[in-house]
Amino acid sequence: MRVIAGTARRLQLKTLDGFETRPTTDRIKETLFNMLTPYLYDCIFLDLFAGSGGIGIEALSRGAMKAYFVDNNPNAIACIKENLKHTRLFQKGETMPVDVLTALKRLEGNQQFDFIFMDPPYGKGLEREALEYLAGSELLAEEGVIIVEAARETEFDYLDSLGFTAIKTKIYKTNKHVFIEPKGRKTVC
């Protein structure tokens, strides 16, 4: 896995051994960031279930002002810190070694995010738990977007009841990215 573009372009990133995480492939990451790049400069990025931190680091490399990385696995946090040092983006990254809901509660009232990205373990409903919290939260900036990476078969038919709408879905071979924003807002991405 590597950084695709920006100030840390071509630098290799470490990943966790084993099957604790499944890093987003370079091809899928490139497709995602081709859609996001025009909106990244000076944004604040939140990477939930961050794993090795590849998505948040890519955002920083492409111009994000700051990225927060949340993962409750101490090995993942250590990996993220190593990757931030290796890419010389350490001062722009903040790690939070807690579960996602705890992190969201701690961030409430202190920060708003232009992008909230989450890539939870598939099939456990963790994206729904996070979205339920975010539905009543002030964490998403006025023009902010939530992006969920999920298994291809994951349903998001509950978004409307939470006050969200899926503005775009990009489907890949085995997974997908769902772009979500509050209902009734002008589409950003």
Predicted confidence (pLDDT) per residue in 121-132, tens digit: 999 999 999 999
Place 24 in a pLDDT band, splitting at 50, 70 and 90: confident
Burial of 83 (0-12, 13-18, 19+ CB in 10 A): buried
pLDDT computed for residue 186 by the predictor = 60
Q: Which of 55, 23, 22 is nearest to 36 (CA)?
A: 55
The average pLDDT across 162-168 equals 96
The answer, yes or no, to whether residue 149 has pLDDT greater than 70, is: yes
Write down the pLDDT at residue 30: 87
Say yes or no to pLDDT of 185 above 90.
no
